[in-house]
Structure 1
Amino acid sequence: MSSPEHKQKIWNMIKDIKVGMLVTVDGDTPRARPMHLVQDEYDGTLWFFTRRSAEKVFEAQQDSQVCLSFSDQEEGVYVSLSGTANLTKNQELIDKYWNSFVGAWFPEGKEDPDVVLLEIKIQQGEHWKAKESKAFQLYEIAKANMTDKTPNMGENEKFG
Structure 2
Amino acid sequence: MTTEDLSQDTVVDTLRESRFVMLTTARADGTLLSHPMTAQEVTDDADVWFFVGLQGDQADALHGNPHVNIAVAKAGTWLSVAGRVEFVDDRAKIDELWDDEAGAYFEHGKEDPNVGLIRVTSDSAQFWGLPGGRASALAKITKARLTGQKPGGSSATTEL
Q: TM-score, normalised to structure 1's length? A: 0.80
Decide whether aligned partners of structure 1 residues 109 and 137 sit closer, same or farther in structure 2, where only a CA change above 3 A counts.
closer
> RMSD between aligned alpha carbons?
2.5
* Shift in Å, 1:19: 1.1
Which amino acid in structure 1 is aligned with residue 87 of structure 2?
L
Cα deviation for residue 66 of structure 1 reads: 1.0
Task: Give percent identity, aligned residues only.
Answer: 21
Partner of 1:47: 49
| Alpha-carbon separation, structure 2, partners of 1:30 and 1:138 | 31
1:13/1:77 contact within 8 Å kept: no
Q: Is the 8 A contact 1:89 1:115 kept in 2?
A: no
User: How far does residue 43 in structure 1 lie from its aligned partner after superposition?
Assistant: 2.0
Match of 2:87 in 1: 87
How far apart, CA to CA, are the structure 1 residues paired with 2:74 and 2:11? 13
One-letter code aligned to 1:57: A
The aligned residue for residue 17 of structure 2 is 16
Look up the SS of the partner of 2:52 in the other structure. Answer: strand
When residues 50 and 151 of structure 1 are mapped into structure 2, their CA distance, relative to the original with a 3 A threshold, is closer
> Taking structure 2 as the reference length, what is the TM-score of the superposition?
0.80
2:139 alignment counterpart: 135
If you compute each CA radius of gyration, which structure gives the higher value, 1 or 2?
1
Aligned length: 149
After superposition, where does 1:89-128 map in structure 2 within 5 Å?
89-128=89-128
Partner of 1:80: helix, strand, or coil? strand
In structure 2, give the amino acid aligned to 1:52: L
Cα 1:72/1:136, change in 2 over 3 Å: closer
Displacement of 1:140: 7.8
SS of corresponding position for 2:113: coil
Q: Which of structures 1 and 2 has the larger relative contact order (alpha carbons within 8 angstroms, sep 6+)?
A: 2
